[in-house]
Amino acid sequence: MQRQFDITLELKTDAINIYDLNSIKLQADVILKNIENQINKCSQWKSSKEQPLSLNTTQNTRIQQQDRQWSTSINKKIQQPRPFSALSGVGTRIKRFEDAKDKQKIESQQQIIDKCPLPQKPPKSALALNQLCNQELIMGNFKLETILGSGSFAMVRLGIDKNSKEKYAIKIYEKIKLNDSQKMNNVKREISILKRIEHQNIIKLYWAIEDKKSINLVMEYISSQSLASYIKSKPNRILPEKECLSLFYQIAMAIKYLHDLNICHRDIKLDNVLMMKTNVVKLIDFGFAICMPLNQKTNVFCGTPHYMSPEIIAKVPHHPASSDIWSLGILLSRMITGEYPFKGQNDKDLYRQIQCQKVKTNQDKKINENVMRVINGCLEKNVQNRWSIDQVINDPVFHKDILIPSVKVF
């Protein structure tokens, strides 16, 4: 009977599902229950096997000793400090199984990785410098002379072709200042946009040249006089109305050309308009320019404070074409009155005025109501009600006894 019990215990132990600890606990309870049943059976067996008093003393003593030894053996198996005494060695087997399972998982993952194709190099962007820049020219072909202008990231210098003696305006970006991908992408975008456009009232890019230290934009040379400096040279810094409208209309036509190509300038101001001796103007500096379809919007904060629109200041999503129209309204007001329509003691105060105050003009300076209509249309704070570029150039004020230079599109 003792052997039969040992076999049963071993079979129950081996049958334990070592994959699940909860299953182990459940089956341990079953084993303990079986042990109790076995003990009860043993007790019954002992009662049924008791010998009569007629047996001799030696036989009776031997039977009692055997019973005591058998009972002691059972007690050693079941009377342990913890209920899992019958599961000795299970923890080791579980550990071996988990290690084998982890190894199998790692091998399976490695097989999947081995089957995957190696990552391909991404195709070169359309804005790659080696595609945008001229590979045949070098900056050694030009003699750099006076500085025509400078900004945070670039300097414009007069460049003279050593062979033809032609003059060019060369915008030089030092690579050391283009220290992040965003600045470099802005330069690439500027080159890409300038290469797409040709208009009588927009500066022309001839070549882009890259060397080890700089990226150079070789553009047509106009003059060193901006519209801002030209207006400052006039009495009271005000232009006669007809001349003002003629110059403004040329700028508006340049913006019309850009908007038809889904290009927005985003930094229209007097300093970014150059004057020619023939009174033809050229829009320059496309550092903030962007190509954006009409169904897209942006909330990028950029431009020059006095010319910024309310939506740029508020950083709300908008199409930048509407902000170009706002800047045109500021430009026209500045040209016709000699002052900005919004003023502030600092940028924060200026931004508050732009967002909250109505357009104000000096009452001492009488402004043609037709001109004022254009200014108000451009400076409408509600983007939905603000004029489009077509409304600006088609306004009757630009078609009454005003000499407008013909706009030639190449």
Kindly report the number of other CB atoms within 10 A of residue 371's CB atom. Answer: 21
Does 365 appear as a known binding residue? Answer: no
For the question of residue 267 being annotated catalytic, the response is yes
Q: Are 390 and 256 in contact (CB under 8 A)?
A: yes
Nearest to 310 by CA among 339, 353, 373: 353
How does 279-312 read in b/e, with b if 16+ C-beta sit within 10 Å? ebbbbbbbbbbbebeeeeebeeeebbbbbbbbbb
Catalytic position from the list 6, 267, 324, 349 = 267
76: Cβ contacts below 8 Å, ≥ 6 apart? none
DSSP annotation string for 202-232: BPPEEEEEE-SSEEEEEEE---S-BHHHHHH
- C-alpha 162/C-alpha 182 separation (Å) is 34
Integer angstrom CA distances of residue 142 from 96, 153, 160, 166: 76, 21, 5, 9
Q: Are 178 and 168 in contact (CB under 8 A)?
A: no
- C-alpha 353/C-alpha 341 separation (Å) is 10
Binding residues: 171
Give catalytic residues, as residue numbers. Answer: 267
Binding residues for ATP: 171
